[in-house]
Amino acid sequence: MKTPHFVLIMTAALALAACSRPQAPQEPIRSVKLLTVGAGSVTARAEYAGEVRARTESRLGFRVGGKLVQRPAEVGQRVKPGQLLAQLDAQDLALSSQAAQAQVSAAQTQRDLAAADLKRYQDLLAQGFVSGAEIERRQATLQSAEATLRQAKAQGAVQGNQAGYARLLADGAGVVLAVEAEVGQVVAAGTPVLRLARDGARDVVIAVPEDRVGQVRPGMPAQVRLWAGQGAVASGPVAPLSAEVREVAASADPATRTYQVKLSLPDGATAPLGATAYVTLAPASGVASATVVKLPTSALMRSDAGDRTGSSVWVYDAAASTVQPRPVVVAGADGNEVVIAAGLKPGEEVVAVGSHVLSPGQKVTRFAAAATQ
């Protein structure tokens, strides 16, 4: 009679054991690479992209107005001093010059007549036939005729110059950068016809934001790295060119709100016009390197705290051999490292590699330790 009861009891115990939840497996103890937080230094060296330009760029135009009948200069063409760049229809100017020369001839005739008249009256004065007052009137007439002649010659020279202004000549050697007028177009005096980059010194032009322009001063040294041209050759990369800040704009560009900065390249630099250049400005004299905390990018992980998203690191607790997440404030980058503005103190240990496989309070073992630079 006891055997059936015993069987029932054992069957119920087995059924209860089968319905209970299995015990959760123990979380493994991971080996992590740790580094000790230390105080490092970072020097502000900003790099800007710019372009190479000629030190002198001239917008050339005619000194008189007229219809453009010839423009042999083309974009990219090299020109020499005195070379014809463009020409206007000079027919009206030639007629004006001829009219001015006719006025000179008429004034010369009037002057010669007044001189002959004065000489004749001087002979009559010697014979006692005229008075001295009559001589004075003839002298005044001659002086007026001479003044009229000088005026006519000056006007004739002006008209002759204007006839020559119908030919636009290069006043220096350079390269044509742009053409702004075409044959058949009527241009006014002073209207730009083409833009010429003069041979000689070269500049690199960059745009500096408002929050950085206060750190840029004329005379500041810089390094220029060309993306093309001298940027790479068969024997290897070319060393950066030494440059110097030559000019800082007094006002910001109304569209971009940046300040134009021009840097002068050394004499003899053969940088092509319009080439892309990367400029690294040296820190201003008297500015010390800032002391900051720097970590490798592998130590950071993304953290979500409520409606905010930021960065955090795993801080190692040596007493408990566990790790806990801690939010940090990232101030920027310095090479391959990130600069931590707040959240860590020198001497603390953080996980350098493997932060994505950890959980809060997890036990870990030390794999290696290193100090930040």
**pLDDT digits over 127-169, tens only?**
888 888 888 998 999 999 999 999 999 988 888 888 889 999 9
Q: Which two tokens stand for residue 253?
A: 């560009």
Q: Measuring CA to CA, which residue among 159, 158, 190, 156 is closest to residue 93?
A: 159
**Closest-CA residue to 302 (of 323, 339, 321, 330):** 330
Whole-number pLDDT of residue 203: 93
pLDDT in tens, 231-281: 433 344 467 888 999 999 999 999 999 999 999 998 877 788 888 999 998
Buried b / exposed e along 27-59 (16+ C-beta atoms within 10 A): eeebebebbebeebebeeeeebebebbbeeebe
CA angle 23, 26, 27 (to 5 degrees): 140
Measured over the CA atoms of residue 232, residue 235, residue 237 and residue 243, the dihedral's sign is: negative
The pLDDT value recorded for residue 35 is 81
The structural domains of the chain, with segments of one domain joined by +, span 30-43+289-371, 53-89+166-197, 91-160
Q: What is the DSSP letter of 90?
A: -
Q: What is the mean pLDDT of the chain?
A: 82
How far apart (Å, rounded) are the C-alpha atoms in residues 292 and 223? 25
One-letter amino acid at 16 equals L
pLDDT digits (tens, 9 = 90+) for 168-215: 999 899 999 999 999 999 999 999 999 999 998 999 999 999 988 888
For the chain, the straight-line distance linking the first and the last C-alpha, in angstroms and rounded, comes to: 83
Domain covering 53-89+166-197 in this structure, CATH number: 2.40.50.100
Q: 30-43+289-371, which class in CATH? A: mainly beta
**pTM recorded for the entire structure:** 0.57
The highest-level CATH class for domain 91-160 is mainly alpha
Dmax (CA) of the chain: 189
